[in-house]
Each structure stands twice: as C-alpha cells, then as structure tokens.
Copies of this chain bind each other. A is one copy, B any other.
C-alpha cells in the first residue's frame, strides 16, 4: 500500500501522456496557421500568469488549457516550414520521442558507472557520425580522439579554447592563471561565441585578433599569417585559430587547407566550427567544405540545427582527447569508482563544463536510425536545392540582388533601394506572420537572410515565400 502522495500515477501519465502526444501532433498539423513570429508585446505573457505560485496542486487539464491560451501565443514557431530566420533548430518526431525516453529514464550520465549505456551509446553514435559525415578518422574513439555531445557550439568553442590554452602553456594556466600573452584568431565573421569564450577563459578580447575576410567573407590566410608574425614579434604567444565552415552571417567557408597549414606550421590549435553547414557533409558531394579538416584539433557541428535532432545536440570532436580531459578533469572522492580507475571507460563529465548530463545520444540515435543515411541525405539535398532555386530567382530578378553567392542553403539578398527599404521589407514580412526571416549586414549594407533548413519546408513554402517577398517589396515602392 503506497503512502499518501501527490504524484501523478502511471495510469494518469498514460492518459495525459497521450493527450500531450496528440497535442504535439495537432500542433504540427496546424503550425502553418499560426504567425511564425510571435506577435505579442513585452510583458503580454506574464500579464496572463498569476502573480502568486499555486498553493494547491492543479489539474493537468488546467495546465494544458493554459498551454493553448497563454503560452502558444507567445511562441515563435521554429518548427514552422515558413521559418527561414537565423540558423534553424530543426526537430523531428523521432528526435522528440528520443527526448521523451531520455526524460523518462532520467539518468544522469556524469560517469560511465552512473549509466553505462548513456556513455557508450554516445561514443558509438559519434563514431558513426565520423563515418557518415566523412570526418577524419582521428576523431574516432578507437584513435587518439573522440566525440562528445555538448549543449551548443558555444560550449564546444569554449572547451576547444581551454584545451588549446592548456596545451600551449603545458597545463600551467589551469594552475597559475592566464599570463596575458596568449593570442587567439578568428575572422571578422566568426560567431560571437568565440569572443565570449575568449572572455570567459581569461584571455581577454584585446587578445583576440579579427582577421580580414575576402570578397566571399572567408578568412584571408595571408592576413592570418601576417598577424601571427606580428604577434610573435611583439613577444606574444599565438595559440588558437577558429575557422568556420558556414559563417552565421552569410555562410562563408573559411579555407581550411590554407588555415590548417598555417596552424600546423605555427603550432596553433585549429578549431573548426561547422555549426549548421557541417550537417551537409552527410552528402558526399558537399564534403568539399571540410577539405582540410585533417588539420583540425577540434571540430563541431550541430545536429540540432540541420539534422532533425531537437535542441540541444552539438557534436564536438577532438583529435587528442587527453588534451581535453587533462584540461577539464577534477576527481573528488565522492566520484571515485573502480570503472574510472580502470581507465577502460569514458567519463564524459571531463569533456565539458557541466558535471551532470542527460542521455542526449538517444534522440540522435533515434534520428539516425529512423532516417538512415539515405533519408538524411535526401532532406539535406532537398533543402540545398530549394535554397539554390530561391537564389536563382533572386539572380534573375531585376529588383533584387544576391549579397554573396549562396554555397548551400542560406541565401543573403537585398531589394534594390538601400538599407531603409530593406529594413521595412523585413519588418513587414515578419509582421505578416506568414514567414520569418532575419538579417545581417554585409559590406556595410543591410541584408536579408533566407535559410532553408526547417524539417518540413518544401517547394511550395519557398515558392510562397518568394511570392510574398516580391509582393511586399512591390508595395513598398508605392
């Protein structure tokens, strides 16, 4: 006879679980009816929530009703096929079910011991991805390196920077702190997460060099080597370069062979950020973007952006796992155990900032098995085709221009007429609720970004978007 308790029973969970599953299925069937960008004003959502916390428990029916009435109007629909903003965070039903099972099992995989399957499935799936994505063999766990799931490319960049910092200072910085002479290199287009990491790591943003880019917004190797020499001449210690495969702003591809050669020559840690575009290498024809990845000490890409795996799931690889582990490992008494002491297991707590970790490989495993390599390739290719089709329309139109060539699935473009008209265009498009785009600035010009990577985006969505863009732009002229 169980004690009195306030828990939901397994049978209630069966009932409400079904309701939530149906709620989600309904949501996907109807998602195109909602404005993609939430139209609420600051404070609107909070105004509908009670000021005081509930003293007594409430029914699940009540909670679910509030999901519809209060929460949903405040949601920007990242899973709408009409979401073309930023980089996406595309999800899929198999991934959602993997996340559900992970939440249900509720394991905390800080150590191999605390759920061997959580660690071993992660290692296994990340090894699979090395094969699937055409990555260098040194990133596999049976080599010197290995992979781990991080929360985000920001977390990955931070860990890469820290391992690089420790390698160049022979693990002295961990003990004695930064000495102010370490210098890191990115391009002017590199994601802000690297500057954030440089600040966090005590390097200081004044010790971060922004290397100039060429006309495609890719890092200039000549400028990089010149800056490294200047810094060495000044008595500084160059130690880290982050190159990007598909920058956030415009999907520029930094030249890995040249940058990698420089890093090898100069003894610098090369981290490559594959963010969204890394997912493209599941298709052999797109692997040219990672030519030169053999030079990298670390690499990441985000299945939570463009590989149908709901946020968070960043795959982070290192060529030398000892450098990462020696940087981040601390072993207090209460975590000691025979499996760890044996050296025969991986304890992923030593591969990232947090100690605790969820069973995130489940959702990735579900995605890989549900789609198979063939299914993933089909959808990635289709997104690229649709984006290229859109880029073609832009090129053909006399009223629009491409800001840069579109290498994959991100199209950066402008309506002829200057910054203000493009700002108005974007605002009207997003305000319509029919599509959601975001912007950047390239060559000092306000530029619209159209990214095709949402799971359910098809030909008709891209066609409708182009129709709408032309129509709204046309009205602006009047």
A103's nearest neighbour on chain B, judged by CB, is B99
Tell whether A372 pairs with B57 under 8 Å between CB atoms, given A74-B116, A106-B91, A249-B334: yes
CA distance A50 to B49 in the complex (A): 49
A46 to B173, CA, bound (A): 36
Q: Which stretch, A21-29, A217-225, A291-299, A391-399, touches the partner chain B?
A: A21-29
Contact mask for chain A residues 2-37; partner B; CB cutoff 8 A; 1 contact, 0 none? 111111101111101110111111111100000001
A24 touches B177 (CB 8 A): no
List chain B residues, Cβ under 8 A from A200: 158, 162, 200-201, 353
Least CB distance, A348 to chain B, in whole angstroms: 13
Asked if B372 and A13 make an inter-chain contact with CB atoms under 8 angstroms apart, the answer reads: no
A39 to B421: give the CA distance in the assembly, Å. Answer: 65
> Which of A190-198, A260-268, A316-324, A468-476 forms part of the interface with chain B?
A190-198
Instruction: Check A108 for interface membership: any CB of B closer than 8 A.
Output: yes
Residue with the highest number of chain B CB atoms closer than 10 Å, among A7, A121, A154, A193: A7
Which B residues touch A120, using CB under 8 A? 43-46, 49, 74
Interface class of chain A by DSSP: helix
A428: chain B residues at CB < 8 Å are none
Q: Which of B114, B131, B353 contacts A353 (CB 8 A)?
A: B353
Given contacts A91-B106, A369-B58, contact A3 B195 (CB under 8 A): no
CB neighbours of A202 from chain B (8 A) = 165, 173, 177-178, 201-203
Contact between B76 and A113, CB atoms less than 8 A apart:
yes
Mark the stretch among A226-234, A238-246, A401-409, A435-443 that contacts chain B: A435-443
Give the residue of B20, B76, B77, B440 whose beta carbon is less than 8 angstroms from that of A334: B440
Encode A115-154 as 1/0 by CB contact (under 8 A) with B: 1111011011000110110000000000000000001111
In the complex, A180 has a CB within 8 A of chain B? yes
Q: Which of B10, B123, B203 contacts A28 (CB 8 A)?
A: B10
Q: List 18 A-B contacts (CB under 8 A).
A: A5-B458, A7-B93, A17-B17, A17-B25, A20-B101, A23-B101, A45-B120, A49-B120, A54-B369, A57-B375, A63-B370, A78-B108, A106-B310, A154-B354, A173-B199, A192-B355, A196-B328, A333-B440
